[in-house]
Amino acid sequence: MIDYKSTRGHDEIKNSAQAIIQGIAKDKGLFVPRSIPAIEGGIGSLVGRDYKDIAYEVLSRFLSDFSKEDILDAVQKAYDSKFEKDEIVPLIEKGGVHFLELYHGKTSAFKDMALSILPHLLTKSLKKEKENKKIIILTATSGDTGKAALEGFADVENTEIIVYYPVDGVSQVQRMQMITQEGKNTHVVAIKGNFDNAQTGVKNIFSDDVFNKGLNDKGYMLSSANSINIGRLVPQVAYYVYAYAQLIGAGKIKDGESINIVVPTGNFGNILAAYYASHMGVKVHKFICASNKNKVLTDFINTGIYDINRQFYVTNSPSMDILISSNLERLLYHLSDGKEEVIRELMLQLENEKKYEIPDDVKERMKIFAAGFADEQDTIEAIKDLYQRENYLMDTHTAVAYDVYSKYKENTKDDTITIIASTASPYKFSNSVIAALDEEASGTEFELVQQLEKITGIPIPKGLKDLDKKEVLHHRVIEKEDMLKELEKAYL
Ligand SMILES: *Cc1c(COP(=O)(O)O)cnc(C)c1O
């Protein structure tokens, strides 16, 4: 039985269903498994199995309190024909590395891998724990998470999903993806403010005791769909296990042979999933953490000092524009052998001084991580270079990872077989991607999507096709101060 506890040690031990329902621990820590399970026969025993099978093997070990039927059912419903590739996550060898394409789901970003299954895990958790309240999911988004959460939760029984986005803070494509969302339990609200205002508004609603008590009396409770929820992290472990099994199956490595994993990183969820996969049996030489110009993590991995006293940049890889990477707290917990008092102290320093330094023994253990960053120009050049040499098109986030890996390889001469997590379709960031291929290109975002298809011949993903012609279903724009008031009107 794998159970879960808070990284800060001041919440009760939970089973996985309880941790999924609650989302974040009461002491503001994150739920972590008390031990990380392994695939007992080694990953070699999974060679030849398809994605759903492997997802089942991984999930059933982490969510050991769920029945076999529940996990099978969730996996079946999540990884079906809404993915545009039969393999779900194709592994493509180009330019001397293997791209693990995680973006063939409905919203064309890797968030679909977890958000297509989280709603099913959540509703099954509620049934299992005999919790009969209706769940209201609140999400503040700067673009990708909001749409993936809407798709995941649309028409899921006993849930309402509300997404807040900054009215001028998302791309045209991202806005249209959200405001054309169907499903009678979906709500999309524009905030007159920036992403931080939306995020702060959501946090304030979560911590408003009077409102939460009122909701409770009406049979509702709040929960979260971002990567602080363990139910979003565990499904991400599966694709690293799958990729390793694919490499063994193709004869590129032997079971037990080391690989490198490169991840374009924002909130540290995706790369943490790779770390969990390494405990399951995926042998990893280096986890390579790639950042854009917001390179807090690069500096941290190279010095042991996490310091957010710095300028924030808006870049062409916006889903990685982040200074506080929440899931790093989970890694530090594991690397310090579960010393909660150390984690509490570091997080307190982060809150008060916007900075902390990890102890020497943790620094030593961090050496399994390498790090680097790519600025906007490096990113554009990486896209252009790989497209011209190999006819392979990357989005800006994946290009950050590819550039960081190229520099790593040049510096270290490390020729270990390497996987790059490819996190978005190039069409999702058409403006920047087309600029790398054709400096003259101009037009609206929607026109650029069409032009990119003409240049490359790669079909536009279904969800992005004719997006500008879809009916707008969500019109609400509210003042940032009114978020709570609007909810009170709707639910109390
Ligand atoms: C969310 C996101 C990331 C960052 O992933 P984390 O798990 O937050 O580190 C990278 N690329 C894209 C396209 C994303 O949407």
Looking at the domain assignment, is residue 116 inside a domain? no
Please work out whether the CB of residue 105 comes within 6 Å of at least one atom of ligand 1.
no
Tokens of 411: 């510096």
370 Cα: distance to centroid of ligand 1 (angstroms): 18
Lookup: tokens for 262: 């490169």
Instruction: Identify whether 469 is part of a domain.
Output: no
CA–CA separation, 248 vs 95, rounded Å? 20
**E strand or H helix at 198:** helix 195-206
Phi and psi at residue 419, to the nearest 5°: -110, 135
Phi first, then psi, for residue 340 (nearest 5°) are -60, -35
> For 458, which DSSP code?
P
Residue in 427, 393, 398, 428 with CA at minimum distance from that of residue 147: 428
Residue 412 lies in a domain: yes
- Note the pLDDT of residue 451: 95
Quote the domain boundaries for residue 355. 91-109+233-461
322: left (phi over 0), alpha (psi -120 to 50) or beta: beta
325 phi, psi to nearest 5 deg: -90, 95
Does the CB atom of residue 23 touch ligand 1 within 6 A? no
CB 484 within 8 A of CB 208: yes
- For 341, half-sphere exposure in the C-beta direction (CA atoms, 13 angstrom radius) is 0
pLDDT of residue 303: 98
Which CATH number do you get for residue 382? 3.40.50.1100
Among protein residues, the one whose CA lies closest to atom 14 of ligand 1? 319
Taking CA atoms only, the protein residue closest to ligand 1 atom 4 is: 266
Position 323 scores a pLDDT of 87
Q: Which atom of ligand 1 is nearest to the CA of 424?
A: 13
CB 12 within 8 A of CB 28: no
How confident is the model over 443-485, as pLDDT tens digits? 999 999 999 999 999 999 999 998 999 999 999 999 999 999 9
In a domain, 427, yes or no: yes
Q: What is the largest CA-CA distance in the chain?
A: 62
Is residue 337 one of the residues assigned to a domain? yes
Sign of CA pseudo-dihedral 449, 199, 343, 313: positive
Is there a domain that residue 477 lies in? no
Structure-block tokens of residue 346: 């570091």
Q: Do the domain assignments include residue 317?
A: yes
102 CB under 6 A from ligand 1?
Answer: no
Q: Is 112 in the pocket of ligand 1 (CB under 6 A)?
A: no
- 430 lies in some domain: yes
**Chain centroid offset of residue 149 CA:** 11
List the one residue out of 328, 377, 322 whose CA is nearest residue 145.
Answer: 322
With a cut of 50, list the residues of the chain below it in pLDDT.
none
DSSP 374-414: --HHHHHHHHHHHHHHH-----HHHHHHHHHHHHHHHHH--
Per-residue confidence (pLDDT) for residue 98, from 0 to 100: 98
pLDDT value of residue 289 = 98
265 touches ligand 1 (CB under 6 Å): yes
Torsion over CA: 412, 413, 415, 421 (sign): positive
The answer to whether the CB of 423 is under 6 A from ligand 1 is yes
Instruction: Report CA dihedral (30, 33, 34, 39) to the nearest 10 degrees.
Output: -160
Q: Kindly give the number of the ligand 1 atom that is closest to the alpha carbon of 103.
A: 13
Cβ of 144 below 6 Å from ligand 1? yes
For residues 230 and 19, give the distance between their C-alpha atoms in angstroms, rounded to a whole number: 7
Indicate if ligand 1 lies below 6 Å from the C-beta of 109: yes
Return the amino acid letter for 394.
M
Q: Which ligand 1 atom minimizes the distance to the CA of 269?
A: 7
- What is the count of structural domains for the chain? 1
The pLDDT value given to residue 250? 97
* Spacing, Cα 373 to ligand 1 middle (Å): 15
Ligand 1 atom having least distance to the Cα of 265: 9
